[in-house]
Amino acid sequence: MKVSMDCVGCGQCAAYCPYDAIMVFGRAVMNDKCIECGTCIDYCPISAISGD
Amino acid sequence: MKASIIGSGLGGLLTAAKLSKAGFEVDVFERLPFIGGRFANLPYKGFQLSTGALHMIPHGSRGPLAQMLSEVGANVKIIDSKPMAMIRKENDEIIDFGDFRNELPITKKVKLGTILAYSLKFKPESNISFRDWTLKYFDDDFLLRLADSFCGWALSLRAKDVPAREVLETIGNMYRYKGSGVPVGGCGAVTGALADIIRSNGGRLHTRSHVDRIIIEKEKAVGVSVNGKEKYADLVISNSGHAQTCKLYDCKDKDYLEKIKAVRPSKGIKICVSADEPLIGHSGVYFTPYTERINGINEVTHSDPNLAPAGKHLVMSHQAVISDDIRREIDLGLSDLKRMFPHKKYEILLVQSYSNGWPVNRAASGKDIGNRTPVSDLYIVGDGAKGKGGIEVEGVSLGVRNVVREIGIA
Ligand SMILES: Cc1cc2nc3c(=O)[nH]c(=O)nc-3n(C[C@H](O)[C@H](O)[C@H](O)COP(=O)(O)OP(=O)(O)OC[C@H]3O[C@@H](n4cnc5c(N)ncnc54)[C@H](O)[C@@H]3O)c2cc1C
Ligand code: SF4
Ligand code: SF4
């Protein structure tokens, strides 16, 4: 998953990730628990996440 | 009459509730999978965190939002915080906000009373900042720090970045409506109750529905395109601020576009904490003028214990963002917490930061440009178009009040 520079670090994606795979500290970073399910994409309020 | 509403934030939902109650056929289009925007609950590890707000209604059960909720019949219980606010002093002693004048030498105390009374009546017309205004009368470290703490908490700005008249307007409203409260169930209970009302009035809420264009005919809004499909309406209300909204149509009004450019959103950081024991002991605001960054803290579980798992407290700090180095800003906030609560047992749940496209306030205080647009039948609601002197959701409500008045349904 790719997080664009637009990410503000609001943590919404982290709360909705079913695999607890996102750490947020100023911005979102996915760790190796990510299985690329794509859930987080829809929950980002500024469409900062894309699936490649 | 048909109304299309772009966005299901508090402003969009309040407007939808008002319009549907007045007989409009209302559709609310929300691009996210849930409603409420920055005033929704965010379930996390058994806590009800939030997408934005600190679960606080600035003027509690008697303010503009509470009034509007009761007008539309939304069933929300707001618990007014007692005490309303406390201040942590330099020596870590805690005093009631109402007693802060006692911290001043007697001459300054008397002077403050007179100047505040005068200035609340006759607000400065110039753009003098709240910091310079304070300095003009008092060279006092405690007052300047308190000004920053207050502006940081309420507006996510430093006192030097807000016009004094805006802050005085806010203080005036604090006297008028008294302050703050916590809705039972958190901020999501407010937007949830509004959604129920809209549905019971026959309105429709559509999630995962992105408005990609506003349809304009002869300088008049006549509908929206949602996920590529055109939907016609008599009235379009946008909850996404002036800057985002004008990108949804071909706006040619240069003056308006210039005005929009001058609008700056405000940035902030919220640190969500799980505590095994109370850190502050009440659900009012805990102002922290003697920190590096944190402006204030609240502990909402004293009003609604269900916002945390049994036996835990939900504590949230807020700070305005001062530099561009966001990680450093967060680190400074975390050190503030460590210094203030050295022997308490707590754990950081989530650090949430807000800026640019998803800010604390779309229009920083004093920069609002009203609810109208160059296009007729297109209005802006939400925190990019607040009513005068209303902070946060109170300002959102005052803005909605202006719009429904213009539409003619009051
Ligand atoms: C950290 C923080 C703490 C805060 N604390 C408090 C507090 O304690 N008390 C308080 O009163 N206020 C607080 N606020 C401010 C408060 O959260 C906001 O003022 C309020 O929620 C803004 O509501 P709004 O009506 O502007 O809508 P928003 O919340 O901005 O919602 C707009 C909605 O429109 C949707 N949208 C946008 N564009 C489109 C489109 N093209 N198509 C479809 N949908 C679209 C968005 O997805 C969003 O859901 C806080 C804010 C933050 C960030
Ligand atoms: S793609 Fe799925 S697993 Fe990966 S971070 Fe997003 S929500 Fe989590
Ligand atoms: S939801 Fe979007 S903006 Fe928020 S932290 Fe995740 S990627 Fe960043």
What structural domains and CATH numbers belong to chain B? Answer: 2-79+185-262+369-407 (3.50.50.60), 85-177 (3.90.660.50), 268-354 (3.90.660.50)
Q: How many domains does chain A have?
A: 1
| Interchain contact, B33 vs A25, CB within 8 Å | no
Longest C-alpha distance within chain B, in Å? 67
Whether ipTM exceeds 0.95: yes
pLDDT category of residue A52 using cuts at 50, 70 and 90:
confident
| Interchain contact, A9 vs B49, CB within 8 Å | no
Distance B320 CA to ligand 3 centre (A): 19
pLDDT tens, residue order, chain B (410 aa): 999 999 999 999 999 999 999 999 999 999 999 999 999 999 999 999 999 999 999 999 999 999 999 999 999 999 999 999 999 999 999 999 989 989 899 999 999 989 988 998 888 888 899 999 999 998 899 999 999 999 999 999 999 999 999 899 888 888 888 879 999 999 999 999 999 999 999 999 999 999 999 999 999 999 999 999 999 999 999 999 999 999 999 999 999 999 999 888 999 999 999 999 999 999 999 999 999 999 999 999 999 999 999 999 999 999 999 999 999 999 999 999 999 999 999 999 999 999 999 999 998 766 678 899 999 999 999 998 987 778 899 999 999 999 999 999 87
Separation CA B410–CA B402 (nearest Å): 8
- The whole-angstrom distance between B45's CA and the closest CA on chain A is 8
A8 close to ligand 3 (CB < 6 Angstrom): yes
What backbone torsions phi and psi does residue B230 show, to the nearest 5 degrees?
-80, 135
pLDDT at B399: 94
Residue ranges around ligand 2 (CB below 6 Å): A 1, 17, 19, 21-22, 30, 34-40
pLDDT at B400: 97
- The whole-angstrom distance between A24's CA and the closest CA on chain B is 7
How many degrees, rounded to 5, is the angle at CA A6 between CA B212 and CA B335?
Answer: 140
pLDDT at B247: 97
- The domain containing residue A40 runs over which residues? 2-50
Separation CA B201–CA B181 (nearest Å): 28
CATH number of the CATH domain containing A18? 3.30.70.20
Separation CA B96–CA B276 (nearest Å): 25
Residue with the two structure tokens 């949804």 = B248
CA A44, B318, B159, B169 torsion-angle sign: positive
Query: Contact B363/B261 with Cβ under 8 angstroms?
Result: no
Paired tokens of B236: 């379009």
Q: Please name the residues in contact with B216: beta carbons below 8 A apart, sequence gap of 6 or more.
A: B222, B249, B250, B375, B378
DSSP line for B34-80: SS-TTSSEEEETTEEEESS--S-BTTGGGSHHHHHHHHHT----EEE
Q: Tell me which residue has its CA closest to atom 1 in ligand 3.
A: A44
Separation CA B77–CA B358 (nearest Å): 28
DSSP line for B281-345: SSSSEEE-TTSSS--EEEEGGGT-GGGSSTT-EEEEEEEE--SS-HHHHHHHHHHHHHHH-TT--
* Alpha-carbon distances, residue A24 vs A11, A43, B404 (angstroms): 6, 14, 39
Strand positions, DSSP E, B207-308: 211-217, 220-226, 229-232, 235-238, 268-275, 285-287, 296-299
Paired tokens of B397: 């409500």
For residue B64, the number of C-alpha atoms closer than 13 Å in the C-beta half-sphere is 25
Residue ranges around ligand 1 (CB below 6 Å): A 45; B 6-12, 29-32, 37-39, 52-54, 56-58, 210-211, 239-240, 244, 268, 270, 318, 354, 360, 382-383, 392-393, 396
**Nearest C-alpha neighbor of B160 from the set B152, B170, B171, B169:** B152
